[in-house]
Amino acid sequence: MQEIISEIDQWLVDGRTPIALATVIQTWGSAPRRAGAKMAVNAAGEMAGSVSGGCVEGAVVEAAQQTLADGRPQLLHFGVADETAWEVGLACGGTIDIFVEPLDNAAYAFQRQLIAQNKAGAVITIIRGPEKWVGKKLLAGAD
């Protein structure tokens, strides 16, 4: 998250919103980015950060645009056994799961504060389950 904060901050200042956040939640085998890698996408299609080193990012940007349009988070899965993996260029082996959601202002402010103060904490996000719960967050700080 730290790598994309300055860009997100600038988008917020400039009014380049809404913003979607894509997070690598799981990988297996050969994957260019580890779990936790993030990419932000704004309504104009501008990107900050990376979730795949380019091989699936076009598909993630499309999903982010859909999430911005309808407000619903998405769990994406790309793998070598999937036809979609070849379509987006993931021919290197392995799988990658990416969660795409609208930027949650409260969670973003919380993370930003933790980073600025060099404090421990976590944002816990529900990624599977009943639709009404997917995307809900729990903010946990050390204090």
Q: How much is the pLDDT for 85?
A: 53
In a domain, 19, yes or no: yes
Q: How much is the pLDDT for 29?
A: 77
In a domain, 132, yes or no: no
The backbone torsions φ and ψ at residue 46, rounded to the nearest 5 degrees and listed phi first, read -70, 145
Number of domains in the chain: 1
Task: Count the Cβ atoms, other than its own, within 10 Å of residue 9.
Answer: 12
Q: If you write DSSP's letter for every residue of 58-88 in order, what string do you get?
A: HHHHHHHHHHHHH---EEEEEETTSHHHHHH
In a domain, 141, yes or no: no
- Identify the bridge partners of residue 102 per DSSP, sorted by sequence position: 20
In a domain, 112, yes or no: no
105-116 and 5-14 helices, crossing angle to 10°: 130
**Which residue in 103, 109, 93, 115 sits closest to 42, CA to CA?**
103
In a domain, 75, yes or no: yes
- Evaluate whether 55 touches 87 at the Cβ level (below 8 Å): no
**Please, what is the Cα angle at 96 between 2 and 120, to 5 degrees?**
30
Q: How much is the pLDDT for 80?
A: 61
Cα separation values, 38 from 29, 53, 83, 141, Å: 19, 11, 24, 21
Q: How much is the pLDDT for 79?
A: 78
Q: How much is the pLDDT for 106?
A: 93
In a domain, 44, yes or no: yes
Instruction: Quote the percentage of the chain above a pLDDT of 70.
Output: 88
In a domain, 124, yes or no: no
Domain that holds residue 14: 2-103
pLDDT tens for the chain, residues 1 to 143:
788 999 999 999 999 999 999 999 998 877 778 899 999 999 999 999 999 866 688 999 999 999 999 999 999 998 765 555 556 555 566 788 999 999 999 999 999 999 999 999 999 999 999 999 999 999 998 77
